[in-house]
Amino acid sequence: MIGKNRIRNQRLIVLVQVAFFITLSFAGCFKKPAWEAKNTKLIQELKLQKRIRADIPKSKVVSNLEAGIVTNIGKLPLTEIAPGAKARLY
């Protein structure tokens, strides 16, 4: 009897831990980034009209900058794009 209770308790502990980790992993998926929350707040406070640009063509180039974060262009790495020509790509 004691062995069955111990096994049941261990299973319950494992089940609670799995549920906790699943909840924790999904919690980060639903949180808006800080810049998006700030933009939404400013749009509401200043009664700005929100727009989505449909005229920008799709690009296959993936940016190495974080969305909504200002980056000092001087800190981006230099890349040689042709002999003697270097650029900071983002």
pLDDT tens digits, one per residue of 42-79:
999 999 998 888 998 988 888 888 877 888 888 888 99
Q: Which two tokens stand for residue 83?
A: 């002999």
Rounded Cα–Cα distance for residues 13 and 19 (Å): 10
Q: Give pTM, 2 decimals.
A: 0.39
Rounded Cα–Cα distance for residues 6 and 26 (Å): 30
Q: Is the dihedral of CA 31, 35, 37, 43 positive or negative?
A: negative
Computed over every residue of the chain, the mean pLDDT equals 83
